[in-house]
């Protein structure tokens, strides 16, 4: 369950480093076997490999400010479906909201709170765009490039509208600190209590002339599918549910079975689930509930067929479970209007 980075993002850094004078062989050595993944932008590489790529790129080019320049000169829509969604949004506020929602597709990091990696915050009478990722000083190059990309992509597409007023970062000033003011174009405070860009509030209301709701919907659907795949591969719950789906109808998906599938002991699985605030029984019950609700809502399966698919050999036991989940019996669900929420 290693943290990962979208291969499209890594490819953008690789190409930028080569264009800046880095020998490809040096970058390939840093990536190792992960270099093969760069040909498909929707695959992923371990974050550790991406960090190694960044270090190799800086060393090979002799440019300590390379992450800043990478952020300023790279185009977000060229590296990820997240950038395409933002580009097809109706307003800057919507573009920001979608960027925050799907940020993990670009770089999978843990963040404070449940609203996504980024947040608009009102503080001391000013409006700020905050990067809420945890332990930001472990990899300051991500802060450098992310903020440069926000500032320069806004300039690139809406240069007449002011965006950034100042920048605050939590890490100490590096030796290449003068490059921050040069590239960001605004005052920078180091060793601040957060990572954030002070922005002009009016920026959020800007309407984007290139909005296309059909294209927006296509990109959003694709991003949602990728997010679900990422969830399934990076959380214990997602991995267990993915393993369960083809076997759920057999009724044999016990905790012992799941532990064996994941290559761990039952006691280790128990402790790992508890760390995610779960028990195996709750996880199994929740999966059955979601699937049963979706099967019945489709109007294509009978109650008995649904009971079988979610692992109940006794339809009466399924009916009791469904009423516990929803307050309604399966037959009541089937007779409800098609747009009901049961």
What is the chain's pLDDT, residue by residue, as a tens digit (342 residues)? 467 888 888 999 999 999 999 999 999 999 988 888 888 877 888 888 999 999 999 999 999 999 999 999 987 766 766 666 666 677 777 777 777 677 677 777 777 765 578 888 999 899 999 999 889 999 999 999 999 988 988 887 666 677 899 999 999 999 999 999 999 999 999 999 999 999 988 887 777 666 555 555 655 666 566 566 666 666 677 778 767 776 778 888 899 988 888 888 999 999 988 887 889 999 899 888 888 887 787 666 788 888 888 888 888 999 999 989 988 888 876 665 544 444
pTM for this prediction: 0.62
How far is residue 171 from each of residues 56, 136, 137, 140, 185, measured CA to CA in Å? 21, 8, 6, 7, 19
Homologous superfamily of 236-335 in CATH?
Homeodomain-like (1.10.10.60)
- Other C-beta atoms within 10 Å of 200: how many? 14
Q: Are strands 164-168 and 196-199 parallel, antiparallel or unpaired?
A: antiparallel
Q: Are strands 126-131 and 118-123 parallel, antiparallel or unpaired?
A: antiparallel
Which residues does 334 contact at the CB level (< 8 Å), separation at least 6?
A: 296, 299, 303
């Amino acid at each position: 369950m290693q943290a990962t980075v979208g291969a499209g993002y890594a490819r953008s850094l690789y190409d930028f480093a080569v264009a800046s004078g880095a020998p490809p062989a040096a970058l390939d050595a840093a990536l190792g076997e992960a270099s093969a993944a760069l040909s498909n932008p929707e695959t992923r590489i371990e974050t550790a490999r991406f960090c190694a790529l960044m270090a190799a790129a800086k060393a090979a080019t002799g440019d300590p400010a390379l992450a800043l320049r990478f952020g300023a000169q790279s185009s977000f829509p060229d590296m990820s479906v997240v950038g395409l969604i933002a580009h097809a949004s109706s307003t800057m506020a919507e573009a920001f909201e979608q960027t925050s929602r799907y940020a993990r597709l670009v770089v999978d990091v843990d963040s404070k709170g449940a609203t996504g990696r980024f947040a608009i915050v009102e503080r001391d009478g000013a409006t700020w765009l905050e990067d809420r990722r945890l332990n930001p000083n472990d990899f300051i190059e991500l802060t450098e490039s992310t903020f440069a990309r926000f500032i320069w992509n806004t300039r690139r597409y809406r240069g007449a509208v002011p965006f950034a007023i100042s920048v605050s970062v939590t890490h100490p000033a590096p030796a290449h600190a003068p490059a921050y003011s040069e590239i960001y174009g605004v005052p920078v405070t180091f060793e601040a209590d957060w990572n954030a860009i002070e922005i002009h509030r009016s920026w959020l209301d800007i309407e984007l002339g290139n909005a296309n709701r059909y294209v927006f919907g296509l990109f959003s659907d694709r991003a949602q599918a990728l997010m679900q795949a990422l969830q399934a591969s990076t959380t214990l719950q997602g991995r267990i549910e993915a393993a369960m789906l083809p076997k759920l109808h057999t009724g044999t998906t016990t905790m012992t079975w799941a532990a064996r599938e994941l290559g761990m002991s039952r006691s280790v699985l128990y402790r790992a689930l508890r760390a995610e605030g779960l028990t195996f029984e709750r996880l199994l019950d929740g999966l059955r509930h979601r699937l049963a609700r979706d099967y019945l809502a489709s109007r294509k399966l009978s109650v008995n067929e649904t009971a079988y698919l979610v692992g109940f050999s006794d339809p009466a036991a399924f009916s009791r479970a469904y009423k516990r989940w929803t307050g309604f019996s399966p037959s009541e669900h089937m007779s409800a209007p098609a747009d009901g929420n049961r």
